[in-house]
Structure 1
Amino acid sequence: MEITEHIDALRHEGTRLAEAAARTELPAPVPTCPEWQLADLLRHIGSVHRWAAAFPSRGLREPLGEADAQAAVGPLPSDAALLDWYREGHAALLDTLTAAPADVECWSFLPAPSPLAFWARRQAHETAIHRHDADAAAGVPGPTVDTTLALDGIDELLRGLMAGSRSKLRSDRPRTLRVRATDGAGSWHLTITQEPPAVTTDGGSEPADLTLAGPADELYVLLWNRLPARQAGKVQAIGDEGLLDLWRDAAI
């Protein structure tokens, strides 16, 4: 996906998140994030948007310390102002990413063609997943994530976040997992050891202890631990389903 496509996805998913929140009481529990109420979700995503915007807008070359991160977010609003505060942060992030020069230099934490490409992609998926959470709090399923965005998000999760040094997905003995989209060109093979997982795009040829195969939108939310595998109606789990428990406990 191009930067402009990620920004468009961020716009659409962020707007849908606000729409779900607007029809839901702030104390409503978020079933996909059991420790949260809707108010916690809004404070989290509103803070993340403001924190993320600081890097391209100010050309910051290093990660922010706790005090500076809090300053970038600013004071948290009252419940009465929370939804408007979220909307303002979302709009400001969109403005920042749209106005930033393509060659802006700033800190990022995953491989990407450019820092701007990283922030547009990361915030599109951060927002899309939390839009799913807001729909869960509202108690009404929202629209499925676009297939192209879902495939891109699976790739970012597996080849970016899961393959990084901070990944907690580990196994005392080597175990393998394939994720295969049935509605698009996407197949990933993970080898899970005591080191960060090795991830390849294998075309579906390598054997694996467990294969998850299904539509990209279901795989996307399942891998983000928003959809229990046994409730993913169109996803097939073929092989060692014990890997699902390892993923649920360690991946995200």
Structure 2
Amino acid sequence: MPGQALIDHGRLLEALGYEVELLVEGSRSAPHDLPARTCPGWTVGEVVRHVGSVYRVALAWLTESRQPRDWQRAPAPGQTVENYLRQGFVDLTEALAWHAPGERAATWWPADGTYGFWTRRMAHETTIHRFDVEDAAAMEHAEIPGDIAVDGVDEALALWFSHRLPKLGLSGTHTASVAVRTGGHTWIARAGPAETVAWRCSDQEAARADAVVSGDPVLVYLWLWGRERLGAVTVDGDDDAVGQLWALMRLATR
């Protein structure tokens, strides 16, 4: 399969399409100046604006074949934030749909320089932030499909834990490894002063970890993104190791 995703490009592109509609629906159910509890310091309107901006910076990476220096970061005068979001979505998905997922593209992750990276990244970006808007609006959360959640667990550990934290110069205070197990897949996340790395692993390798985190795929996905409380998952083993993983993921995804 091209790129790093656990599910195919078409499935992620489909998810991106319905997630943006759920985000719009949620944003219409709450005042745009309402604080978004799960995004401290942001309002509902700011969450929607942020996603529209992320769509534009992703498209700029693709069209400029390098890290972009500038893009439209906010609605134009007279443009609603919903229209800003939708236009960014249409422009980006048109580019994604016209290219094979394995086709080379500029990205900010050396492990996956393909169009598929951006489809996956935008699908999860939109899913997490529509959850934020639903939460702010006190709505019942729309379902997150299990296969999307499992892929999101993989992305959170591979991209944000293994790549983003070292780029930020952040590391654990003590060396510890945590196995994360959900949806028939298992990963190791190891952190300490010398390294911050995660990888897909076997059950035998997971048995040697200091702790094991497990639960329903959606719960583990949201937990890694800080949308579920620290104690929401099942923990076997060293609580300090799990606490360190939790704290580092908060820094990686803020």
TM range (shorter): 0.7 to 0.9
- The answer to whether the aligner puts 1:250 opposite 2:254 as a matched pair is no
- Superposed, 1:53-64 pairs within 5 Å as 53-56=59-62, 58=63, 60-64=64-68
Q: What TM-score, normalized to structure 1?
A: 0.86
Q: Does 1:36 align with 2:34?
A: no
CA contact (8 A) 1:61 1:105 kept: no
**1:171 CA drift (Å):** 2.0
Query: Which of the numbers 210, 232, 235 marks the counterpart of 1:237?
Result: 235
1:190 offset after TM fit, Å? Answer: 1.5
Per the alignment, residue 140 of structure 2 pairs with: 141
Aligned Cα RMSD in Å?
2.2
Secondary structure of 2:203's aligned partner: coil
Does the aligned pair in 2 maintain the 1:27–1:39 contact within 8 Å? yes
Give SS of 2:212's match. strand
TM (norm. structure 2) is 0.85
Shift of 1:196: 3.7
How many Å apart are 1:75 and its aligned residue?
Answer: 4.9
Task: Show structure 1 runs of 5+ residues with no match.
Answer: none
Deviation for aligned residue 1:185: 1.8
How many pairs align? 240
Q: Which amino acid aligns with 1:121?
A: R
Q: CA shift at 1:229, angstroms?
A: 2.5
- Give 1:79 deviation, angstroms: 8.7
Q: Is the 8 A contact 1:213 1:237 kept in 2?
A: yes
State whether residues 181 and 212 of structure 2, in contact with CA within 8 Å, keep that contact through their aligned partners in structure 1.
Answer: yes
Q: CA deviation at 1:46?
A: 0.7
Greater CA deviation, 110-119 or 135-144? 110-119
**Displacement of 1:168 after TM fit?**
5.6
Q: Distance in 1 between matches of 2:78 and 2:37?
A: 20
Note closer, same or farther for the CA distance 1:195–1:77 as it changes in structure 2 (3 Å cut).
farther
1: CA distance, partners of 2:74 / 2:89: 16
Q: Is the 8 Å Cα contact of residues 12 and 120 (structure 2) preserved in structure 1? A: yes
